[in-house]
Structure 1
């Protein structure tokens, strides 16, 4: 999937010449935590978020640096802090350096950017113009949509078994050579040995995600790699 498949196209934006009060009213009335700032030419100029408005003179939360921190902070940084705490317009408080992404970018790029920069949303741009926004919520909605559309296919036991074994072979972490799978009317029994509980969880996910599987019985035996202690599978314990 690409960005265009999941992004929200009706983006609420604001002018850099709008007041801080206008920005706050829009965020509160629309139940959103940020606004992309678009200039008169329609180009992306920045973003203003709740975080940009936390250090405000009206709240008494402006930065009050100790004398030695003031010595370390450059005059430019001190002036910026003052402007953000006292400025009346969006242009005074917005963040100008905004990351963006293209409509045809894969979702992997979206997730990687969000993780790296610890952000929740990205503007989608074409030639500098904002054409949409992709957020974590959009990714979750896409996930739910795929789950709903992925209805289990009716298939025979032999096909189910072959699909499970192929999926196990495709994973480098899966101990495929020590596993065996039997399928009876869609009920899967998994046998074999594992050396950590994460393997058990991963194997179960592979089986449960295979089309046609109705139920999974876990007979995997856990062998502690350092002591050799054997722990029976959950379905074998009484």
Structure 2
């Protein structure tokens, strides 16, 4: 006599995945920003105090005018020491990257991850109506993948 296995009627599992998948869902909105007239020394102190590697530079209207990074500050220090100039001279406007590439907040998080790889950037600012509203970093992408690790990624 054979043993029969019976599990009964199986319910169809509905596929309702509400996992956020856009840059807007994972970007940082509370940013440490800098002004173009700040000194490199002020920026260095802020980078150390807030444990960040760089940040957006905005004008009085909160419009993005550049990005300053640890590397930009180190380059300034190195050049000042090489030419035996005092470090206080000059504002970050002279040392920041002015042609800043941004991404859309509506971009899929995995498309953003590919953009990080192809463009070799550590952060991308997000603008809405010409104003800075947030920034996404490589760390934000990693946090997003941890939150989605049990989800299907092909959606």
Q: TM-score, normalised by structure 2?
A: 0.74
Conservation of the 8 A alpha-carbon contact between 2:41 and 2:88: no
Query: 2:116 corresponds to which residue?
Result: 114
More strand by share: 1
Gaps of 5+ in 1: 63-81, 152-238
Query: 1:132 corresponds to which residue?
Result: 134
Determine which structure has more spread, i.e. the larger CA radius of gyration. 1
Residue 60, structure 1, aligned to residue 81, structure 2: yes
Offset at residue 57 of structure 1 (A) = 5.1
Q: Give the whole-Å Cα distance in 1 for the aligned partners of 2:34 and 2:146.
A: 31
Which of the residues 39, 51, 56 maps onto 1:36? Answer: 56
Alignment of structure 1 residues 66-145 onto 2, 5 Å:
87-145=89-147
Q: Using CA pairs below 8 Å that are at least 6 residues apart, which structure has the higher relative contact order?
A: 2
Query: 1:146 corresponds to which residue?
Result: 148
Offset at residue 87 of structure 1 (A) = 4.7
Runs of 4+ in 1 over 4 A off after TM superposition: none
Aligned-residue CA RMSD (Å): 2.2
Offset at residue 114 of structure 1 (A) = 1.3
Residue 20, structure 1, aligned to residue 40, structure 2: yes
Query: 2:68 corresponds to which residue?
Result: 48
Conservation of the 8 A alpha-carbon contact between 1:54 and 1:61: no
Gaps of 5+ in 2: 1-20
Offset at residue 113 of structure 1 (A) = 2.0
